[in-house]
Structure 1
Amino acid sequence: MSATTGAPPVADTDTDEMVTVRDLDVSFGATRVLHGVSMSIAAGKTVGVVGESGSGKSTLAKVLVGTVRPENGQVTVDTIDVTRISHSQRGAFAYRRRVQMIPQDPFSSLSPRRTIGQTLAEALDPLHARVRRYSETIAFWLERVGLSADMMARYPHEFSGGQRQRVAIARSLIVEPSFVIADEITSALDVSVQAQILELLAEIKDSLGVTMMFISHNLAVVQNVSDEVVVMYRGEVVESGPVAEIYADPKHWYTRTLLDADPGAPGFTLDL
């Protein structure tokens, strides 16, 4: 069977690691976006990836979901060598079920012409997105994220920002993925709604045992939801390790700068 249409290439990797990134390089034209990035995520754990805009967080996420191909390095997700996977294999439904991304802006990612039920049915079965056929599963997941089953007949504009983010979480988890990437999912929400979404995400993750990458510029948020943290600066990983260790004793100056700028951190100051 050809590489284009066959099964995705399987990598020889540690079975305890759901995600492994080794010496990853990515450039867009003459601009180097990622340089020598290495990290790993153990199965069932959450790793927070932090850094300011332009640090390479979102590009790393796009490599993991297979929409950006790296120049060098190896990326393994759920035993699949993403760097060797073909374009057709990256787009195949089987791979997309394994790896899901919860977007930053759920409103733009939800079709305004489709009901929530139709959106979730399409996630389950892109070719035959029939709400009636999957109504029980859709109802279960809507209730799982704190919405009611009768909401499946509504359209995105009828929901608040927090409710739309709950729909986005349901859409990502309804296919029972192995790995989920949450990309700045609370940045557009007010503080009270942020707390509700983070609590929901943590509860669901723990109950399902899903492996997760949580991308954020907010260190306080990352601290609350992550087991480990990876700090990125200008396309490189400058520090990584268990959350408690990094927050208690950061080694790199950039990590210290981020922590000192965080209102929830001990070193934060505000000159008036």
Structure 2
Amino acid sequence: MVDVRGLDVSFGSARVLRGVDLRLERGRTVGIVGESGSGKSTLAKVLVGTVRAASGTATVDGVDIVAADRRAMRAYRRRAQMIPQDPYSSLSPRRTIAQTLAEAIDPVRGRVATHEQLIGEWLVRVGLTPEMMHRFPHEFSGGQRQRIAIARGLIIDPHLVIADEITSALDVSVQVQILDLLAGIKDSLGVTMMFISHNLAVVQRVSDDVVVLYQGEVVEAGPVEQVYADPQHWYTRRLLDADPGAPGFSLAS
């Protein structure tokens, strides 16, 4: 599904990604972990098509998005969706939830009346009610807004979903609810997912595989149980030792 090879990204003189290799099988979830500045979000932006790589290849569902032209990228962007870290800033305060979701379904002619049934179904699917579609973002809690962001990312049936630190601003009990919700929807749809987080407990809960980034390079990768139980790189061991996601710790159910 995702095959990244030798990916390099620079901003000015700063080289952010350095020869990144990554493979992700269809229907699986890979957790991307690393400290701030390790290149996690830059990798995500390359894979959704908002940042172009300087070199290397990034083939997603048969499309090399490094080499793709504008027309190909317009079609591709609907197949790869990002769930943002801060849903409040990504939701227009002047638009109802129905208007926002209708626009996600059809950016050109996003009419609420046309898509009202689908919008209502997705609100139920993320644990809200159809009546809530007529409210504005400020009328929801942080956890509810994150549920809306999940609905917006998945309502168009993408092939690849990237969740970027989506639980970092939530308390632990709400984190668990959001993670379980996302995992359930992901399994029912069979979608392929990349889950970015600095919280190793979160990554362990939702991921099949894990990739560790350090200063723009992949320093370790493998099945999540293997990497957590027997980390091979010193940086992975340091992350595990410094984080409550170390072996033996898990988010409460």
The residue number in structure 1 matching 2:23 is 40
Instruction: Give the RMSD, CA atoms, in angstroms.
Output: 1.1
CA distance in 1: counterparts of 2:76 and 2:110, whole angstroms? 18
> What secondary structure does 1:203 align onto?
helix
Q: Which of residues 216, 222, 230 is equivalent to 1:235?
A: 216
The answer (yes or no) to whether the contact 1:112–1:157 under 8 Å persists in 2 is yes
Partner of 2:49: 66
Structure 1: distance between partners of 2:204 and 2:247: 13
Gaps of 5+ in 2: none
Report deviation, 1:263. Answer: 1.8
Matched, 1:216 2:220: no
Counterpart in 2 of 1:172?
153
Say which of 211, 227, 230 aligns to 1:249. 230
Note the alpha carbon deviations across 1:33-53, whole angstroms, 9 max, x for none. Answer: 000100110000000000000
Distance 2:245 2:213 in 1: 20
Decide which of 117, 121, 125 is 2:106's aligned counterpart. 125
What is the TM-score when the length of structure 1 is the normalising length? 0.90
Structure with max Cα Rg:
1
Q: CA deviation at 1:267?
A: 8.7
Output the CA distance in 1 between the equivalents of 2:105 and 2:26.
24
Identify the residue that residue 70 of structure 2 maps to in structure 1: 87
For the residue of structure 2 that corresponds to 1:85, the secondary structure is: coil
Give the Cα–Cα distance (whole angstroms) in 2 for the partners of residues 189 and 96 of structure 1. Answer: 28
SS of 2:98's equivalent?
helix
Structure-1 separation of matches of 2:199 and 2:125 = 26
The one-letter amino acid of 1:24's match is L
TM-score of the two chains, using structure 2 as the length reference: 0.96
For residue 84 of structure 1, give the secondary structure of its aligned residue in structure 2. coil
Shift of 1:69: 1.0
Counterparts of 2:39 and 2:167, CA distance in 1: 19
Give 1:89 shift.
3.3
Residue identity over aligned pairs, in percent, reads 72
Alignment pair present for 1:107 and 2:88: yes
Structure 1 position 88, deviation (Å):
4.3
Q: Which amino acid aligns with 2:12?
A: G
Counterpart of 1:64, as a letter, is: L
Query: What is the one-letter code of the residue matched to 1:29?
Result: G
What is the distance in 2 between the residues matched to 1:146 and 1:267? 30
Q: Which secondary structure does the structure 2 equivalent of 1:68 belong to? A: coil
SS at match of 1:198: helix
The Cα offsets for residues 135-159 of structure 1, whole Å up to 9 and x where unpaired, read as 0000000000000000000000000
Q: Please give the per-residue CA displacement for 1:87-125, whole angstroms capped at 9, x wherever unaligned.
A: 3432x2x32220000000000000000000000000011
Equivalent pair of 2:49/2:77 in contact (CA under 8 Å): no
How many residue pairs were aligned?
Answer: 249
Listed as ranges, the gaps of 5+ residues in structure 1 are 1-17
2:57 maps to a residue whose letter is: Q
**Letter matched to residue 19 of structure 2:** G
Match of 2:39 in 1: 56
Contact 1:260-1:267 at 8 Å conserved across structures: no
* Alignment map for 1:149-164 (pairs within 5 Å): 149-164=130-145
User: Deviation above 6 Å: which 4+ runs of structure 1?
Assistant: none
Q: Which residue of 1 aligns with 2:240?
A: 259
Listed one character per residue, the Cα deviations across residues 171-213 of structure 1 (whole Å, up to 9, x for unaligned) are: 0000000000000000011111100000000000001000000
Instruction: For residues 198-238 of structure 1, give each alpha carbon's deviation from its aligned partner in whole angstroms, at most 9, with x where no partner exists.
Output: 00000000010000000000001000100000000000000
Deviation for aligned residue 1:264: 3.7
